[in-house]
Chains A and B, each alone.
Chain A
């Protein structure tokens, strides 16, 4: 039997994931995150009188903080498994990935453990985020 024939067996015999269900859950959970984010921004902007840009930033920071605390408390993994990408794509996912990696490596020491392990999953987001930001700024400087 060659490799292609075996691939066909796997394709035909392996289970189909319920994509529609996952998409619907992610859509509503992600949407709920958006609603909460908007409410937070309004609170920061209208009640606490921050500028609109500062309010956006504070909302982001709040999401990271809440995500990290929930991960640290130990039940966010179950919520994420249920809500799929609904909580991974928003910035809570970034916080969650960072905190969970840090918790995993905590026992290996502060330097070789947490220090190098905390960005195990999120390191590439930061690196390529900065690279992308650099090039977009460059284009903006040249064009604008």
Chain B
């Protein structure tokens, strides 16, 4: 896949909301809003997730002093069946809406779609919103919430919260430089506990495609941020890159690991969910680094695919950002 180059597309502003318990305290100080509530006065946590999206959508509109009519395109993504949270958030405003599903890489997919349309002058600006709710993911993909299913060390913990960002061709300090859309990779992995193992090859392939299509060295970037591979997923990725492409880098960091500050003694592998990548990107990465490659990754399995004994397939999309100081 060839590299998509953008001219004058910028991330103007963002709004982050984190709601999971057991957070990394250093991240709590950097988010725009932090609430320890899965329901937000709604009867169900499914509706609670809609409220997360509403909070970040309204929060960002207020931050930017804009009305819903000023936004040309709303792109939403979440993990609920048929994008429940995004659809019901979108119906509250008069904004044209596109729903995207790419599991935990939905945010990056949204950014690529928005930036492509803005780059071709098909719209002035676009807002990308993604959310996840731990209880919803538990219920939908794992076991009933109160069941407290036995977990392995490779299991990740779905983060709760939502993130929104507004992109346009108005100049700001974060420029979207280019992007690579990833291929869906099947490596025959079947253990749904270990999603990192499903996504790592997809990340590796997209990273290689990106470097090849741009002619860049892996050390061109100050940091390579992966989505939610987890602490073991990062190991698989490094080993895969080394064996297949002879690529080595110590600049690869994982958003899921950073979100919960996990190490190998922790009893889980890290955070997961569509909010991991944007949350860490906006709270930690853009403040420290200049040339950033973000590799969102998603495990595209469902309960149906698992019941049909199909292997888990993964996808990863890359976006290269430049922070102008």
Contact = CB atoms under 8 A, between A and B. Distances in A.
Interface of A: 1, 3, 5-7, 9-10, 13-15, 17, 71, 74, 76-81, 84-85, 88, 96-97, 99-101, 103-104, 107, 120-121
A76 B148 contact: yes
Given A10-B194, A10-B197, A80-B148, A15 B44 contact: no
Interface in B168-218: 187-189, 194, 197, 201
Contact of A103 (B43, B144, B152, B153): B144
B291 to A, nearest CB: 28
A77 B150 CA distance: 10
11 contacts: A1-B240, A6-B201, A6-B240, A9-B243, A10-B236, A13-B239, A17-B153, A78-B148, A85-B150, A88-B150, A103-B146
Interface of chain A, main secondary structure = helix
Contacts of A99: 146
Instruction: For the complex of A and B, list the 5 residue pairs with the smallest distance between their C-beta atoms, beginning with the closest.
Output: A77-B148, A100-B146, A3-B188, A104-B144, A100-B144
Contacts, number: 83
Nearest to B42: A107
Contact of B197 (A14, A96, A101, A103): A14
A13 B43 contact: no
Interface string B230-252: 00100110011001100000000
A104 B146 contact: yes
Given A6-B240, A9-B236, A14-B194, A81 B148 contact: yes
Contacts of B145: 77, 100, 103-104
A10 B189 contact: yes
A14 B240 contact: no
Contact of A107 (B44, B194, B232, B244): B44
Contacts of B194: 10, 14
A51 to B, nearest CB: 35
Contacts of A103: 144-146
Nearest to B234: A13
Nearest to B201: A6
A100 B143 CA distance: 9
B188 A121 contact: no
A71 B146 contact: yes
A97 B236 contact: no
A77 B147 contact: yes
Contact of B154 (A3, A15, A96): A15
Contacts of B153: 15, 17
A85 B201 CA distance: 34
A20 to B, nearest CB: 15
A76 B151 contact: no
Interface centre among B145, B187, B189, B244 (most CB of A within 10 A): B187
B288 to A, nearest CB: 28
A81 B201 contact: no
B144 A121 contact: yes
A76 B10 CA distance: 49
A14 B232 CA distance: 6
B264 interface: yes
A121 to B, nearest CB: 7
A74 B240 contact: no
Nearest to B238: A13
Contact of A17 (B44, B139, B148, B152): B152
A15 B189 contact: no
Contact of A13 (B147, B187, B235): B235
Contacts of B264: 15
